[in-house]
Amino acid sequence: MVDVGPKKIIGEIVRLEKGEAVIQVYEDDTGLQVGAAAESTGRPLSVRLGPGLIGAIYDGIQRPLELLYQQSGAFMEPGIRGERIDPNKQWDFVPNQEIAEKLGRKEPVAIKPGLLLGSVKETESITCKIMVPPTCKGGTLLELKGAGAYTINDVIALSDKEEPFSLAHWWPVRMPRPSARRLAADKPLVTGERVIDIFFPLSKGGAAAIPGGFGTGKTMTQHAIAKWCDADIIIYIGCGERGNEMTDVLTEFPHLVDPRTGRSLMERTILIANTSNMPVAAREVSIYTGVTMAEFYRDMGCHVAIMADSTSRWAEALRELSGRMEEMPAEEGFPAYLPTRLAEFYERAGRVETLNGDEGSVSIIGAVSPPGGDFSEPVTQHTKRFIRCFWALDRELANARHYPAIGWLDSYSEYAEEVKPWWEQVNPAWAVVRQKALDLLKKEQRLSEIVRLIGPDALPDDQRLILVVAEIIKNGFLQQNSFDEIDMYCAPTKQVRLLELMMSFYEKAAMCIKLGAPLVQITALPERERLSRIKSEIQNTDTASLDDFGFKMKKVMEDLERSYRSKEHL
């Protein structure tokens, strides 16, 4: 990292050649002159990690935007820094009792990366663990300060070899933080969006992409996940999209309540804003800044989810920077190392055992906005190689106002097998109804092509029933309005139960038709229509009403079936 010119704007050395350094500056470089001094800070581009990150809003190089606003107004001046974490705030430090006692008995305490020194309560819902940084090379602990109020710059522990420890430390953004080992991705990140959780689930520690053309719902989907998913911490990176989308987050999140803790959602969120009108170079770094912060909390045993909106704008920044360095362009002008950079980003997702022996995870959800909604362009194609969950947004669905517009034929998730045991504990029917519903939707696709050619009347009743039930699944299950009071979040139990009810309706109806009942008699049942509305009528917690409906529906259908069986007898 380099301070450039009299204003000391932030720059990074991006190429070293024969004693000559090429520096990329991350701020507006207007007024910079030939002959201006550039001074190395002696460390790679880094972020400061410690308590106080939660609830903050940063730009791509961790400048605290709120603080800068108070200092210099709405327009950032080049070179202005502001402390990355408030240096005056006092935190209540609670030392690790075990270590304190050992030191009290004059027993030696060996230090190693990840050793827990103590903790501070960062927000009501997040406890920040203070640990020996991963770069530590060993030694013994000489002193651990007692409980009390400390700022992030105060010394809290001393060792014989390392620098004194404080509540915060620096970490280079482009270097993944180490962990003890990787764990299987067999726990789902529950998002409360039915089409995601049931059909295309994402694991804690997984990576997903949401590609879609303009206005198909990438931002809305990410917002919905950020609001409701069961991660402990959300890091929302707005890279290169319009500023008002970040404003939405800023105005909405403080008022929203975390369903698990009952506290404001901002108490578990960090925002990183590099909107389209901010310097393009910092946009390139912003996603690394975000992942580094995510790994910091992962190392404390938190489950972190990152939203990046959008990785296409990030790739465009990469293209711009590469162009300036006169590198040989590859596909569509993107640099040849685009796939490597994408891999470096997505590879940092994962569920791990931390150095301290806890379990933590980083899940990454990246929006991709291919020009013209054409998924064959390089960013979407390369992204596909590094993610295992693909939520393809469909223009036709979005136009029909079917939201979330995640197409069920083009999307996929390779985590489905891994999260199956978890879901089967919620409801043993998960995998079965999921597969049946997906098959039914595939059949519907083929049938609707025939219908387009020759009209619905040519189909026999059992096939028309498939169209009817597919309609129920689309309206009553796949569609989920982010603005609906009840349906904005759907609890896991309700999700599986809803689909189970729909599939059982289908099976019972198919039986009746086989016994000779006409389709109209099935479609006239009030239960058919009710199935499409239940999602926004019955509360998440109200399993009794759902069971009650299921019980009544079963009775009605079985009565119908019985009446046809007796006719068959005659």
Ligand X SMILES: Nc1ncnc2c1ncn2[C@@H]1O[C@H](COP(=O)(O)OP(=O)(O)O)[C@@H](O)[C@H]1O
In the complex, the residues that contact ligand X under the rule CB under 6 A are 212, 214-220, 224, 403-404, 481-483
Q: How far is the CB of 484 from ligand X (least distance, A)?
A: 8
Q: Toward ligand X, which CB reaches closer, 177 or 313?
A: 313
Q: How far is the CB of 284 from Mg ion (least distance, A)?
A: 19
- For residue 489, the partner it binds in Mg ion, ligand X, none, with Cβ less than 5 to 8 A by kind, is none
- For residue 217, the partner it binds in Mg ion, ligand X, none, with Cβ less than 5 to 8 A by kind, is ligand X
Q: Toward ligand X, which CB reaches closer, 406 or 502?
A: 406
Check: CB of residue 419 under 8 Å from CB of residue 492: no
Q: How far is the CB of 313 from Mg ion (least distance, A)?
A: 10
**Rounded to whole angstroms, how far apart are CA atoms 197 and 204?**
12
CB burial of residue 533 (10 Å; 0-12, 13-18, 19+): exposed
Q: Toward ligand X, which CB reaches closer, 118 or 404?
A: 404
Q: Toward ligand X, which CB reaches closer, 62 or 312?
A: 312
Q: Toward ligand X, which CB reaches closer, 381 or 482?
A: 482
Instruction: Note the Cα 451 to chain centre separation in Å.
Output: 39
Q: Can residue 221 be called a binding residue for Mg ion (CB under 5 A)? A: no
Q: Toward ligand X, which CB reaches closer, 214 or 555?
A: 214
Q: How far is the CB of 543 from ligand X (least distance, A)?
A: 24
- φ, ψ for residue 15 (rounded to 5)? -155, 135
**Rounded to whole angstroms, how far apart are CA atoms 324 and 329?**
11
DSSP 3-state percent helix, strand, coil across the chain (nearest 5): 40, 20, 40
Residue 566 CA: distances (Å) to CA of 177, 562, 570: 70, 6, 7
> Among 72-80, 216-224, 283-291, 421-429, which window interacts with Mg ion (CB under 5 A)?
216-224
Q: How far is the CB of 492 from Mg ion (least distance, A)?
A: 27
- For residue 481, the partner it binds in Mg ion, ligand X, none, with Cβ less than 5 to 8 A by kind, is ligand X
Q: How far is the CB of 330 from ligand X (least distance, A)?
A: 26
- For residue 482, the partner it binds in ligand X, Mg ion, none, with Cβ less than 5 to 8 A by kind, is ligand X
Q: Toward Mg ion, which CB reaches closer, 218 or 528?
A: 218
Residue nearest to Mg ion (CB): 219
From the list 293, 276, 286, the residue with the least C-alpha distance to 61 is 286
Q: How far is the CB of 220 from ligand X (least distance, A)?
A: 3
- For residue 276, the partner it binds in Mg ion, ligand X, none, with Cβ less than 5 to 8 A by kind, is none
Q: How far is the CB of 222 from Mg ion (least distance, A)?
A: 8
- φ, ψ for residue 216 (rounded to 5)? -90, -5
Instruction: Note the Cα 361 to chain centre separation in Å.
Output: 11
- For residue 504, the partner it binds in Mg ion, ligand X, none, with Cβ less than 5 to 8 A by kind, is none
Size of the site for Mg ion (CB under 5 A): 2
CA-based angle 416:421:422, to the nearest 5? 90
- φ, ψ for residue 300 (rounded to 5)? -90, 0
Q: How far is the CB of 488 from ligand X (least distance, A)?
A: 8
DSSP state of 211: E
Q: Toward Mg ion, which CB reaches closer, 219 or 311?
A: 219
Q: How far is the CB of 311 from ligand X (least distance, A)?
A: 13
- For residue 215, the partner it binds in ligand X, Mg ion, none, with Cβ less than 5 to 8 A by kind, is ligand X
> Among 112-120, 129-137, 140-148, 215-223, which window interacts with Mg ion (CB under 5 A)?
215-223
Q: Where are the alpha helices (DSSP H) in 370-491?
A: 378-386, 395-399, 416-426, 430-454, 461-473
**Rounded to whole angstroms, how far apart are CA atoms 125 and 129?**
13
- For residue 526, the partner it binds in Mg ion, ligand X, none, with Cβ less than 5 to 8 A by kind, is none
> Among 22-30, 72-80, 219-227, 388-396, which window interacts with Mg ion (CB under 5 A)?
219-227
**Rounded to whole angstroms, how far apart are CA atoms 442 and 63?**
49
In this structure, how many other beta carbons lie within 10 angstroms of the beta carbon of residue 403?
Answer: 21
**Rounded to whole angstroms, how far apart are CA atoms 299 and 331?**
37
Q: How far is the CB of 223 from ligand X (least distance, A)?
A: 7
Q: Toward ligand X, which CB reaches closer, 220 or 459?
A: 220
> Among 106-114, 212-220, 353-361, 465-473, which window interacts with Mg ion (CB under 5 A)?
212-220
Q: Count helices and strands (H / E) in the chain.
A: 17, 24
Q: How far is the CB of 466 from ligand X (least distance, A)?
A: 26
- For residue 228, the partner it binds in Mg ion, ligand X, none, with Cβ less than 5 to 8 A by kind, is none
**Rounded to whole angstroms, how far apart are CA atoms 17 and 14?**
10
From the list 449, 434, 392, the residue with the least C-alpha distance to 383 is 392
Residue 73 CA: distances (Å) to CA of 25, 64, 510, 570: 22, 13, 66, 86
Q: Toward Mg ion, which CB reaches closer, 218 or 464?
A: 218
Q: Toward ligand X, which CB reaches closer, 75 or 483?
A: 483
Residue 40 β-bridge partners: 2
**Rounded to whole angstroms, how far apart are CA atoms 340 and 329?**
14
Q: Toward ligand X, which CB reaches closer, 44 or 215?
A: 215
Instruction: Find the binder of Mg ion among 123, 159, 203, 219 (CB under 5 A).
Output: 219
Residues near Mg ion (CB under 5 A) are: 218-219
